[in-house]
Amino acid sequence: MKKAAEKSTAKSTPAGKTASAKSTAKKAAPAKKAAPAKKAAPAKKAAPAKSAAVEAAAVKGAAVKKAAPPKKVTVAPEKAIAAVRKASPVKAVAPKPPKGESNTALVRRARRINRELAEVYPYAHPELDFENPFQLLVATVLSAQTTDLRVNQTTPALFAKYPTPEDLAAADPEEVEEILRPTGFFRAKTKSVMGLSKALAEEFDGEVPGRLEDLVKLPGVGRKTAFVVLGNAFGRPGITVDTHFQRLVRRWQWTEETDPDKIEAAVGALFPKSEWTMLSHHVIFHGRRICHARKPACGACPIAPLCPAYGEGETDPEKAKKLLKYEKGGFPGQRLKPPQSYLDAGGTPAPPLAGR
């Protein structure tokens, strides 16, 4: 670039000599036309290249600074989850109210939702067929990754052939697999139900234990299954955190947690312990019938005024009614329509109101 500039100046020197005389000042005008060459546009454009490099370095530096926090966060959840599993679920995690809602308001809203659901589903109960704790335990294990209806169609043949833990523990695995095939994952489920049956026969004299710490040691039995058995076979309160429960309590902003143990702890702190079992039934019933995963029937929901997620699903009452899922025959006293106090003049649920 410098050589080019020197050549251009060398060519312009004659004009510069003539420009020294006043009489030839007008003749120096052509030299002024050469001024655009002095602008050195390429040289000025090169300056942004330096700033771009500086900006790129700054962006990289900022990216490195922003990327640092996630490395610290990846370890914390594992420790937190481990601590919750070892500790009492209620004491482990305190409920975290949504933004703009006090803890007191959250507790009141959550309990009101449960009261309304109790009116809608007065006969809410575990939808698995069973006659004793052993049958409930096995049926709950089999209900993973399938419907309760499918389990209820499968267990009669299983319990007719293997009525006790001793019988099932001594069964032929291939025969059990053939019976459980319709439930899916039948090999793994066969291993679980035969394993827990053997443990019951050898360690608990063929009886299902009534303590959480004993139940969770059985093959295929986690906290969710244990609380189903404790709450419905022994009358001991427990929260059943299945997929429906997780989905609904997050929609209602009862908690922002995603880990089942932390959800159990946070929601349990909102309610008296005596209500935990029926609370689970109410929420699960509602999730299966109205508040669906993909398209909730918001326009036919009895708790629409209390739900922060109102509007995520179909709000038109007529269209929403078509999304409702009724059980065969229904239940005595069951009603799947909003209470009159929540209906406006047009018969549609009123929108959510803060503080109701």
Predicted confidence (pLDDT) per residue in 127-146, tens digit? 899 999 999 999 999 998 89
Q: What is the pTM of this model?
A: 0.64
The predicted pLDDT at position 99 comes to: 66
Catalytic residue among 167, 214, 242, 259: 242
What's the mean per-residue pLDDT of the chain?
75
Domains and CATH numbers, the chain: 133-233 (1.10.340.30)
Residue 355 backbone zone (phi > 0: left; psi -120 to 50: alpha; other: beta): left
d(CA 236, CA 225): 13
Q: Specify whether 161 is catalytic.
A: no
User: How far apart, in whole angstroms, are the C-alpha atoms of residue 9 and residue 3?
Assistant: 10
pLDDT tens per residue, range 259-290: 999 999 999 999 999 999 999 999 999 999 99
Q: Indicate if 66 belongs to the active site.
A: no
Report d(CA 302, CA 290) in Å as an integer: 9
Higher-pLDDT residue of 35 and 296 is 296
Using N-to-C axis directions, what is the helix angle for 41-73 and 76-86, rounded to 10°? Answer: 20
What 308-315 contacts at long range (C-beta under 8 Å, 24+ apart), as own/partner pairs, is: 308/98, 308/251, 308/252, 308/253, 308/352, 309/251, 309/252, 309/253, 310/349, 310/351, 310/352, 312/251, 315/348
Confidence of residue 10 (pLDDT cuts 50, 70, 90): very low
Which pLDDT score, from 0 to 100, does residue 214 have?
A: 96
Query: Which position has the higher pLDDT, 13 or 154?
Result: 154
Residue whose tokens read 């005008």? 29
pLDDT of residue 331: 38
> Residue 326: pLDDT band by 50, 70, 90 thresholds?
low
pLDDT score recorded for residue 188 = 95
**Residues 44-88: pLDDT tens digits?**
444 444 444 445 444 444 444 444 444 333 333 333 333 333 333
pLDDT at 126: 87
- How high is the pLDDT of residue 37? 44
Higher pLDDT, 2 or 125: 125
Instruction: Spell 158-176 as b/e; 16+ CB within 10 A means b.
Output: bbeebeebbebbebeeeeb
Instruction: Report the pLDDT value the prediction gives residue 350, as an integer from 0 to 100.
Output: 39
Give 123's pLDDT tier (boundaries 50, 70, 90): confident
**In the predicted model, is pLDDT for residue 335 greater than 80?**
no
